[in-house]
Chains A and B, each alone.
Chain A
Amino acid sequence: MQGQKSGWEQSKVHENEALSAIKHNRDAGVDNLLDEIDGLLETNAEQFVKGYVQKGGQ
């Protein structure tokens, strides 16, 4: 018995592997999106943010 993982433990391992794969894919996707918009964020970010002024609403 020793050295073998129970079905439950085995499924936990699979679950953790699946979750870390999802997280990895997510980071890769986010990086890909950020690469695409990097230029946008570098240009006049501060001025842009400060320029967003509205009159209050409800």
Chain B
Amino acid sequence: MKERIVGIETEYGLAYDAAGSKPQTIEEIARRLFAPVVEWGRSTNVFLTNGSRLYLDVGSHPEVATAECVDPLDLLAQDRAGVQILADLTARAQAGIRAKGGEGSIHLFRNNVDSAGNSFGCHENYLIPRRLEYARLTDHLLPFLVTRQLLSGAGHVVQGPDGARLVLSQRAEHMWEGVSSSSTRSRPMINTRDEPHADAERFRRLHVIVGDTNMAEGSTLLKTVSTHLVLSLLETGRVMPSWAIANPVKALREISTEASATTQLLLADGRTVTALEVQEYFLEAATEHARSTGMDSGVVPEVLELWARTLRAWAAQDLDPVADTLDFAAKRSLLTRYAERHGLDLGDPRVARLELAYHDVAPGAGLVPGLEQRGLLRRFTDPAAVSQARSEPPRGSRAEIRSRFLHAARRAGVDHQADWLHLKLTEEPSKTVLLTDPFATSDPAADELIQALDTLPTVHTHSTAL
């Protein structure tokens, strides 16, 4: 696919620092956080007018699933809009606690691990054609995903037998299989659960759950665009060299632990290669593919350049050239500088506290705004585009239809339900609209429904956004 629908689902972690005042359970905090959502949409599981889904997942994880995006920069804007929406909910919950005399503070983390070893994810969804030979696709994709942590690992300090060290990926230790249908018990890198949320004869949704949650926009951009290009390359069905890794889970963990591109990987055919060599192959093949198919437009050339710069940095064992763009390099620079200044070991709790601050998106609690303001972390999104993405959908997908429907139904105050596939008025279930083409930006039945809503008087005059 030259144009592809991509979406990201991010599970957030919650914490309440009581600071000596009355403690609150995470369930209580989550309930407070979602009280305005319930008031707005009568549920803790709602679709917003920007087309995204906001919900409280199992285990009291706030979660945002972005709308279906075609443009990579729209995806970044949607992802960041989700952060802002949750940050605002956090501020409201915080104010509620203060009003009742509570002195603690709520923290909201975009990361993948807590102190007890639980893991939660950042799942990527890529629309792929149904006609593909799925097993061949995932076989070829897996070596790319195993080594992709060189591009988008978020970094994590772990205690090892030789002391604390900064590993490349937060997620690596929580992966148990390459490709399977399980999700929590034996987490695979690619989840094969077949829920296309679209016409199942034409489409499939590739569900990648191996990736770290990223803070740096550069990491999210590089992660999703590189994967899209590699998928596009694999979709040609062209005969390609196999980089099938003998033991992908073992390789994933070793690359993460060594945090070095020179980790040796044993391939299924008996050869030994480095993680860097695998990435270099995919970069070269994806670059050539993008050139020959005209896909090297928009932000793609810049992403290919970033990919190349990242691999050169790993080859030179100097990540400074990407320290203002990618999570692992940015975090390493921050944590090592702090530890040096105070003469601390990386295993010191203050370093762990700093690492959590890097992932915190509660207002005033996180480091990313400060890093961006100082030019230490590059921002790719336009703030105005992010503001707009809080209530408006990305262009070029059925999220546009969903958004028009939600705006219209909310304005008219008519009870309704929407999900990825359906638009429904509660009182008129027979008129339910099914949207099976994720690329469709208009639909006759949906337009009819929306036009009927538009004839009704306005009930909600103020913003229809949450």
Contact = CB atoms under 8 A, between A and B. Distances in A.
Nearest to A55: B59
B376 A30 contact: yes
B17 interface: yes
Given A31-B337, A48-B17, A57 B119 contact: yes
B176 interface: no
A45 interface: yes
Interface stretch (B244-252, B349-357, B414-422, B442-450): B349-357
Contacts of A34: 334, 337-338, 341
Interface string A38-57: 00111011101111111111
B353 A29 contact: no
B118 A27 contact: no
Chain B interface size, as a band, is: 35 or more
A37 B371 CA distance: 12
Contact of B115 (A19, A30, A40, A53): A53
B324 A54 contact: no
A9 interface: no
Nearest to B111: A52
A32 interface: yes
A27 B58 CA distance: 41
Contact of A51 (B15, B183, B354, B371): B15
A39 to B, nearest CB: 11
Given A26-B323, A33-B371, A54 B352 contact: no
Interface residues of A, number: 30
B333 interface: yes
B187 interface: yes
Contacts of A40: 353, 357
Interface in B338-373: 338, 341, 349-350, 352-354, 356-357, 367, 370-371
Contact of A54 (B26, B187, B334): B26
A30 B333 contact: yes
B57 A57 contact: yes
Contacts of B57: 57-58
Contacts of A44: 17, 19
A49 B333 contact: no
Contacts of A46: 349, 353
Interface string B358-398: 00000000010011001110000000000000000000000
A54 B14 contact: yes
Nearest to A36: B370
A55 B374 contact: no
Given A37-B367, A57-B57, A48 B356 contact: yes
B115 A57 contact: no
B320 interface: yes
A54 B60 contact: yes
B352 A49 contact: yes
Nearest to A30: B337
B376 A29 contact: yes
B212 interface: no
27 contacts: A26-B324, A26-B333, A26-B376, A30-B376, A33-B367, A33-B371, A37-B354, A45-B349, A45-B350, A46-B349, A48-B17, A48-B356, A49-B352, A50-B115, A52-B107, A52-B115, A52-B356, A54-B116, A55-B59, A55-B60, A56-B59, A56-B118, A56-B119, A56-B120, A56-B184, A57-B121, A58-B121
5 tightest Cβ-Cβ pairs between the two chains A and B: A57-B120, A55-B59, A46-B349, A45-B353, A56-B118
